């Protein structure tokens, strides 16, 4: 069962919602965040990426950045840009991207369940990124950005969502990227009970995106307990973390592509000869991979399609048979010498939303090779998490992205 809790959310004032809500902190560089927040004092990027308000070159993980983040959050609350709900509530959050629509429940998810692996993971985390999110969370005492969760669809939650969206939304805006965001608040005790009961019948929740944020929530609780911080409420606010849970049949995963800075001393022609030992290689165009186990390669100014040869991967292994694993095991490691993509500075990753043109641009400017991957499925993700296995790094790119600052959860009084 899943114990989800309502909470008194901090939300943007209705007339400022489009200016406050911002892209998540980890999909933007400092320069991109600075440009997006320019001339917009209400942008939540001043909270999640406060180095944009400090001198160029400031370490994003410096204590002064977290202090400025806290000051900026306090300013948004003091100036009335963020307003606290009077009563605990759940929310329904709908995102529309073209003809794709997904609706998720905004909840407090259980840290206990996360630690017991009843909220299941599919990725390893990096200590430095955990430290950053935990330091930010502890300094501000809020969950500033939500964790994206998924669950196997339930008809009762679908029916309730269908009822809710017939009402007037609390907020409704279309961001600069064309994605529409709508939010409804559910603070009626009967509806809160319906949501809690439905989630209580779930076997498990799954972290889709936000492994570092959920790990940081557990770390912050550990720190607060070690410091002897008391809470008047039970459970304490830090026993849960901000999450948006979507049914598995509504999530949309795009490919997560690779770019490599050099060809390990080879010419493009020699590289293609080596690749042909493990893949069928044919000239192609700049379109996304059409099927699993097929890749698009850009090198030497040309596009090629690569098809994994039978016998180069174990079809029975749910991890080793993933496209990103096939690519790592048959090309990146043995041919280009990239043994650990987590730490090798020769490789970089490009989310599928940026398109094939971004891969060509990177090959013109700072890379010699780009490879487009077919997306992982939600079914694959959940099966791997159920087995206790771990997916390779940078396997999934979820789109559309949840906005930060649209709903904020306090750790002082949930």
- Residue 315: CATH number of its domain: 3.30.1760.10
State the residue range of the domain holding 347. Answer: 253-397
Co-location of 235 and 337 in the same domain: no
Asked whether residue 240 falls in the same domain as residue 278, the answer is no
Asked whether the beta carbons of 55 and 362 are under 8 A apart, the reply is no
What is d(CA 96, CA 403) in angstroms, rounded to the nearest whole number? Answer: 13
Count of domains observed in the chain: 2
**Residue 106 forms part of a structural domain:** yes
- The dihedral sign for the CA sequence 394, 398, 399, 400: negative
Alpha helices in 276-368 (DSSP H): 323-327, 355-365
Of the candidates 28, 15, 75, 4, which has an alpha carbon nearest to the alpha carbon of residue 403? 28
247 and 258 assigned to the same domain: no
37 domain residue, yes or no: yes
Specify the pLDDT at position 384: 95
Does residue 4 form part of some domain?
Answer: no
Torsion, Cα of 195, 197, 203, 205 (10° steps): 20
- Give dist(CA 149, CA 146) in Å, integer: 9
Distance between CA atoms of residues 393 and 341, nearest Å: 7
- The pLDDT assigned to 175 comes to 95
The token duo for 276 is 């042909």
Instruction: Classify residue 287 by burial, with Cβ atoms within 10 Å: 0-12, 13-18, 19+.
Output: exposed
Containing 280, the helix (H) or strand (E) segment is strand 279-283
169 and 206, same structural domain? yes
**239 and 262 in a common domain:** no
Tell whether 239 and 261 lie within a shared domain.
Answer: no
1 lies in a domain? no
320 contacts: CB under 8 Å, gap ≥ 6: 313, 314, 326, 329
For residue 5, being part of any structural domain is answered with no
Cα gap 322→394, rounded to integer Å: 12
Residue 187's CB is within 10 A of a number of other CB atoms, namely 16
Is residue 176 assigned to a domain? yes
**Pair 92, 105: CB distance under 8 Å:** yes
Containing 132, the helix (H) or strand (E) segment is: helix 127-140
Residues 269, 146 within the same domain: no
Q: Domain for residue 2, yes or no?
A: no
Determine contact, residues 227/29, Cβ cutoff 8 Å. Answer: no
- The verdict on 135 and 199 lying in the same domain is yes
From the list 86, 196, 106, 87, the residue with the least C-alpha distance to 148 is: 106
User: Is residue 212 within 8 Å of 393, Cβ to Cβ?
Assistant: no
Query: Which conformational region is residue 109 in: left (phi greater than 0), alpha (psi within -120 to 50 degrees), or beta?
Result: beta
**pLDDT score, position 414:** 63
Give the three-state DSSP class for 384. Answer: helix
User: In terms of domains, do 247 and 263 share one?
Assistant: no
If asked whether residues 404 and 346 sit together in one domain, one would say no
- Residues of the chain short of pLDDT 50, as ranges, are none
Is 243 among the domain residues? Answer: yes
Sequence-ordered alpha helix ranges (H) in 284-332: 323-327
For 284, which DSSP code? Answer: -
In 3D, which of 62, 18, 301 has the Cα closest to residue 178?
Answer: 18
> What DSSP designation does 336 have?
T
Are residues 236 and 103 located together in one domain of the fold?
A: yes
One domain, residues 60 and 190: yes
């Amino acid at each position: 069962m899943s114990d989800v809790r309502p909470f008194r959310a901090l939300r943007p004032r209705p007339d400022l919602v489009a200016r406050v809500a911002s892209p998540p902190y980890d999909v933007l560089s400092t320069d991109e965040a600075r440009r997006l927040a320019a001339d917009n004092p209400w942008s939540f990027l001043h909270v999640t990426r406060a180095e944009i308000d400090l001198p160029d070159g400031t370490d994003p993980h410096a204590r002064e950045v977290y202090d400025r983040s806290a000051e900026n959050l306090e300013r948004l609350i003091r100036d009335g840009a963020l307003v606290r709900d009077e009563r605990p509530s759940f929310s329904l959050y709908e995102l529309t991207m073209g003809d794709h629509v997904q609706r998720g429940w905004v909840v407090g998810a259980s840290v206990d369940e996360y630690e017991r692996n009843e909220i299941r993971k599919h990725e390893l985390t990096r200590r430095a990124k955990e430290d950053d999110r935990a330091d930010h969370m502890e300094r501000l005492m809020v969950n500033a950005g939500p964790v994206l969760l998924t669950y196997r669809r339930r008809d009762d939650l679908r029916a309730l969502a269908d009822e809710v969206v017939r009402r007037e939304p609390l907020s409704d805006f279309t961001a600069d990227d064309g994605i529409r965001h709508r939010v409804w608040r559910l603070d009626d005790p009967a509806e809160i009970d319906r949501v809690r009961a439905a989630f209580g019948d779930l076997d498990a929740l799954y972290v889709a995106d936000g492994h570092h944020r959920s790990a940081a929530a557990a770390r912050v609780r550990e720190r607060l307990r070690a410091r002897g911080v008391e809470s008047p409420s039970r459970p304490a606010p830090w026993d849960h973390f901000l999450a948006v849970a979507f049914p598995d049949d509504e999530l949309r995963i795009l490919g997560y592509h690779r770019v490599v800075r050099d060809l390990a001393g080879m010419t493009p022609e020699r590289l293609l000869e080596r690749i042909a030992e493990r893949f069928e290689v044919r000239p192609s165009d700049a379109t996304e991979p059409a099927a699993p186990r097929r890749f698009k390669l850009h090198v030497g100014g040309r596009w090629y399609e690569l098809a994994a040869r039978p016998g180069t991967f174990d079809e029975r292994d749910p991890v080793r048979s993933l496209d990103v694993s096939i690519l790592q095991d048959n090309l990146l490691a043995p041919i280009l010498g990239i043994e650990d993509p987590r730490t090798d500075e020769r490789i970089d990753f490009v989310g599928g939303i940026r398109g094939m043109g971004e891969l060509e641009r990177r090959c013109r400017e700072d890379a010699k090779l780009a490879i487009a991957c077919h997306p992982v499925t939600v079914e694959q993700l959940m099966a791997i998490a159920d087995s206790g296995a771990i997916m390779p790094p940078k396997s999934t790119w979820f789109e559309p992205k949840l906005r930060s600052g649209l709903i904020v959860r306090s750790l002082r009084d949930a």
